[in-house]
Amino acid sequence: NAGVTQTPKFRILKIGQSMTLQCTQDMNHNYMYWYRQDPGMGLKLIYYSVGAGITDKGEVPNGYNVSRSTTEDFPLRLELAAPSQTSVYFCASSPLSGGTQYFGPGTRLLVL
């Protein structure tokens, strides 16, 4: 099992550009999450999903969108990138609400 995979590993965007961060898990987990990690700060929840077709906002959803068409995939879309979105993004999955979470390797995003 590959676990949780994320692509790309690193990306530089110009202000106003858009991109999609990909996340795939092969553990058949219903729960999936997107977090961002800023230097000196704890991870913050952007969006989460409790199953295919069901998504909801977390603590910091502004500037992002998600979809969940399959159990495996949970892409995060950035529209009109801003410097404030410079961060490391982690995708995670879990078999249970509040259960152990399995993290992807992260995507480092720089918006200039």
Partner 1 sequence: KNEVEQSPQNLTAQEGEFITINCSYSVGISALHWLQQHPGGGIVSLFMLSSGKKKHGRLIATINIQEKHSSLHITASHPRDSAVYICAVYSGGGADGLTFGKGTHLIIQP
Contact characters 33-52, partner 1, x per CB under 8 A: x-x----xxxxxx--x-x--
Among 8, 51, 83, 105, indicate the residue that binds partner 1 (CB under 8 A): 105
State in angstroms the smallest separation of the CB of 35 from partner 1.
Answer: 8
If the CB atoms of residues 15 and 50 are measured against partner 1, the closer one turns out to be 50
* 106 forms part of the interface with partner 1 (CB under 8 A): yes
If the CB atoms of residues 50 and 112 are measured against partner 1, the closer one turns out to be 50
CB–CB of 92/104 below 8 Å? yes
Q: How far is CA 50 from the centre of its chain?
A: 14
In 3D space, the residue among 95, 87, 96 whose CA is nearest the CA of residue 43 turns out to be 87
* 102 forms part of the interface with partner 1 (CB under 8 A): yes
Q: Is 16 exposed, middle or buried (0-12, 13-18, 19+ CB in 10 A)?
A: exposed
